Structure 1
Amino acid sequence: MEVEIAQADVRRVYRGGFSGPLVSAVIWAAASVASIWGPIWLSMSVLFLGGMMIFPLSAVVLKIMGGPAFLPRGHPSAALAMQCAFTVPLGLLVAIALGSVAPTLFLPASLIIVGAHYLTFISLYGMRLYGVLAGGLVAVGATAMFAAPPLRDVSGWIGAVILLAFAVLLYLAARAERQRNTSHA
Structure 2
Amino acid sequence: MNVKQAQEDVRRVYRAGFSGPLVAAVIWAAASAASQWGSSATAMAVLFFGGMLIFPLSSLVLKLMGGPASLAKGHPSIALAMQSAFTVPLGLLVAIALGAVEPSLFLPASLIIVGAHYLTFISLYGMRSYGVLAGVLVAVGAVAIFAVPALRDLSGWIGCVVLLVFAGSLFVAYRAEFQHTAALTSPALRDGGISDVS
Structure 2's unaligned 5+ residue stretches are 186-198
Aligned length: 185
Partner Cα separation in structure 2 for residue 151 and residue 36 of structure 1: 13
Residue 148 in structure 1 maps to residue 148 in structure 2: yes
Partner Cα separation in structure 1 for residue 180 and residue 84 of structure 2: 28
TM-score, structure 1 as length reference: 1.00
Q: What are the equivalent positions in structure 2 for 1:39-54 lying under 5 Å apart? A: 39-54=39-54
Paired position in structure 2 for 1:37:
37
Paired position in structure 1 for 2:7:
7
Secondary structure of the 2:152 match is: helix
Residue 123 in structure 1 maps to residue 123 in structure 2: yes
Partner Cα separation in structure 2 for residue 169 and residue 127 of structure 1: 12
User: How much is the aligned-residue C-alpha RMSD, in angstroms?
Assistant: 0.3
- Post-superposition Cα deviations, 1:157-178, rounded to whole Å, max 9, x if no partner, equal 0000000000000000000000
The 4+ residue runs of structure 1 with deviation greater than 3 A are none
Partner Cα separation in structure 2 for residue 128 and residue 3 of structure 1: 15
Counterpart AA for 1:45 = A
- Post-superposition Cα deviations, 1:104-156, rounded to whole Å, max 9, x if no partner, equal 00000000000000000000000000000000000000000000000000000
Paired position in structure 2 for 1:114:
114
Partner Cα separation in structure 1 for residue 180 and residue 100 of structure 2: 49
Paired position in structure 1 for 2:174:
174
Partner Cα separation in structure 2 for residue 52 and residue 71 of structure 1: 19
| Structure with greater proportional helix content | 1
Counterpart AA for 1:157 = W
Paired position in structure 2 for 1:62:
62
Paired position in structure 2 for 1:76:
76
Secondary structure of the 1:146 match is: helix
Partner Cα separation in structure 1 for residue 73 and residue 51 of structure 2: 24
TM-score, structure 2 as length reference: 0.93
Counterpart AA for 1:34 = A
Shift of 1:28: 0.2
Partner Cα separation in structure 2 for residue 142 and residue 39 of structure 1: 22
- Post-superposition Cα deviations, 1:59-86, rounded to whole Å, max 9, x if no partner, equal 0000000001110100000010000000
Equivalent pairs: percent with the same residue?
74
